[in-house]
Amino acid sequence: MNSTINNQIALFQERNQNRGRLLVSCPDQPGIVSAISKFLFSYNANIIESSQYSTNPEGGTFFIRIEFECPQLKEKAKDMEQQFTQIAEEFSMDWTFTHVYKVKKTAIFVSKELHCLLELLWEWQSGDLMTDIALVISNHEEARDIVEGLNIPFYYIPANKDIREQVEEKQLHLLKEYDIDLIILARYMQILTPAFVEANPKKIINIHHSFLPAFIGARPYEQAFNRGVKLIGATSHYVTNDLDEGPIIEQDINRVDHRDDVDSLKKIGRSIERSVLARAVKWHLEDRIIVHQNKTIVF
């Protein structure tokens, strides 16, 4: 990692050493917000941002994301989490505390098309994507010079369906070695095995080059052209073992018409793919997403 990025991360960590985030989902009932607020107040924490949503006030599911500032958070964190379990049990909560100064470590997987990778690298260099890009893994060599030019480790691991398990064994070893928090599939054109996905639940974000659920699978732009669509889009989602059917994080579209051939659709689509993936990754890094069944709540 170059010195500029190191300085950005160090400054971010210094500014956010006492900043925490709490994500909660539970059955909706009166008193949830009050209990959480009183708990944070008991540790002299100040709520900076709070967003909440209920699927149905009567018998639905309640979701909340709170970002707070707490003096000496590092020293208090363990005790806070232990004490919060009492509230969590009372309200049957699924919950996570995260510490903003702990910058998440990411691995990017890419194949030949580099536009999504380049967008992520640009956002990262500019400080708008606060993460430690620990490594890039590719089944092609096209990205090597760009990645290594930024002092990011690059691993070329040829992959195809016949050697998939051996390839993923190497990949999983690297992910463990670098202690990776998030895997980004930036147009990585390989299907992951169930074992790989199960080893990284809710930790793999993909970009699919269509507006799902339309045109699942391979060659979606060709499918869209043959169908004569007037809108094309891109979808970023968490990866599950159901191909292109994981919880959707972000989508966008652009208008096209009968003048656009397949190459034109791909060119227009690449721009959409880049921005959609970057937004989805940023929201994950900022702990703005709660996965509920096969949907997401994005605050």
* Active site amino acids: 244
Sheet holding 46-54, edge to edge: 46-54, 61-69, 19-27, 94-99
Nearest C-alpha neighbor of 131 from the set 284, 257, 21: 284
Which token pair is 297? 């709540």
Neighbours of 80 (CB within 10 A): 18
CB 147 within 8 A of CB 136: yes
Which token pair is 282? 């940023």
Exposed, middle or buried: residue 298 (CB in 10 Å: 0-12, 13-18, 19+)? middle
